[in-house]
Amino acid sequence: MKKILPIIMCGGSGTRVWPESRETFPKQFIPLVGERSTFQTTIAMLADPAFERPIVISNLEYRFLVADQLREIGAEADVVLEPSRRDSGPAVAVAAGLAARRAPDTIVVVLAADHVVRDTQGLVDLCKRASAAAAEGYIVTLGVKPDGPATGYGYLRPGAPLESCCEVYKLDAFVEKPDRATAQDYVDAGYLWNSGNFIFRADVMQSEIAQFEPGIFAAAEAAIEAARQDLGFLILNAEAFAHAPKKSIDYAVMEKTDKAALIPADIGWSDVGTWRAVWELSERDEFGNSVRGHGVVMDARNVHVRSEDTLTTV
């Protein structure tokens, strides 16, 4: 099987899970669950021989955070830096452009650096299975089986199964975050959560972006062509990249393309977008309490305490 090129999206500004996560030190670099950051656990998962050396796409201001965290776990990656934030559409366009320069039919998996996956081997296996559909020209997204009617995620409606690929389905509908009643209807109807992770062939993604968002495509290509090396980082050209329309890959491509497919993913996935999610993913005692650092909980249940420096009592 041809190896898969992992591209890790690591440029988010950390506006959720405040105040632990903040713009100068966003949540992908914080050990919210366990001893490693979600960025580090994502990178570590890619040690599987199915993957090539990863590419990390981050923001210019996070370059030393990325380098330090890679060094802490003894991992290597090529690091590409965005000089400004333009959302996931331009970032994926850059990812596809870099991959296509290696070979147009390179199979790419785009993974978010700030998600938690409990079953990492399950995710690796899904990437391998999805790569077969990607090789045929599909853009495959990982659809997470819901554990309830969440209103914080987009939803995916599975269509007919692909004849040539086991447990991969056409994507019939891509819908944005619903209200609670609609979310319950979606769950009852078998919809899946949109995880924001994709597997595709580089030339296919380039073609779709060029068709639906030519401004994004042109800006990404110009930013790559005029990029410069600095201290081991590849820095995209600021002037060119600033011309990219600010748009998510969901709006730019996934809601418009007829090449979208999905693979159901039951892998213990979370985007760790709230403190409740952090508590749910953390080890808890018999009273449902979770303590990280210096904390004491008395006569309380379902409490999450984080206090690295001072003793906190609840």
Residue 119 structure tokens: 């079953």
Cα 116–Cα 200–Cα 12 angle in degrees, nearest 5? 40
Report the distance separating Cα 284 and Cα 278, nearest Å.
11
**Residue 30: strand, helix, or coil:** coil
Side chain identity at 243, as an amino acid letter? H
The per-residue b/e assignment along 63-84, b for 16 or more CB within 10 angstroms, e otherwise, is bebbbebbeeeebebebbbbbe
Helices (H), 10-62: 38-45
CB distance 41 to 34 below 8 Å: yes
The H or E element containing residue 288 is none
In sequence order, the 6+-apart residues with CB closer than 8 A to the CB of 133 are 140, 162, 164, 165, 168, 199, 261, 263
SS3 sequence, 209-247? HHHHCHHHHHHHHHHHHCCEEECCEEECCHHHHCCCCCC
Report the distance separating Cα 204 and Cα 99, nearest Å.
11
In sequence order, the 6+-apart residues with CB closer than 8 A to the CB of 301 are 287, 288, 289
Report the distance separating Cα 133 and Cα 161, nearest Å.
11
Cα 176 to chain centroid distance, Å, stands at 17
CB distance 217 to 252 below 8 Å: no
Q: So what's the pLDDT on residue 289?
A: 61
The H or E element containing residue 177 is none
Report the distance separating Cα 250 and Cα 154, nearest Å.
9
pLDDT tens readout for residues 101-140: 999 999 999 999 888 888 888 899 999 999 999 999 999 9
CATH of segment(s) 5-277: 3.90.550.10
Angle of the 88-102 helix axis to the 202-212 helix axis, nearest 10: 140
Domain positions in the chain: 5-277, 283-313
pLDDT values of the chain reduced to their tens digit, one per residue, 314 residues: 689 999 999 877 666 766 666 667 777 887 777 778 889 989 998 988 999 999 999 999 999 999 999 999 999 999 999 999 899 999 999 999 999 999 999 999 999 988 888 888 889 999 999 999 999 999 999 999 888 888 878 899 999 998 777 789 999 988 888 889 999 999 999 999 998 899 999 999 999 999 999 999 999 999 999 999 998 999 999 999 999 999 999 889 998 999 999 999 988 877 666 666 665 555 555 555 666 655 565 555 556 665 566 655 55
Q: So what's the pLDDT on residue 114?
A: 82
Report the distance separating Cα 212 and Cα 130, nearest Å.
24
The H or E element containing residue 113 is none
Report the distance separating Cα 176 and Cα 184, nearest Å.
14
Report the distance separating Cα 79 and Cα 81, nearest Å.
7
**Residue 205: strand, helix, or coil:** helix
Q: Are strands 192-201 and 107-112 parallel, antiparallel or unpaired?
A: antiparallel
Residue 160 structure tokens: 């007919």
The H or E element containing residue 161 is strand 155-161
Residue 252 structure tokens: 């730019």
Q: What is the reported pTM?
A: 0.87
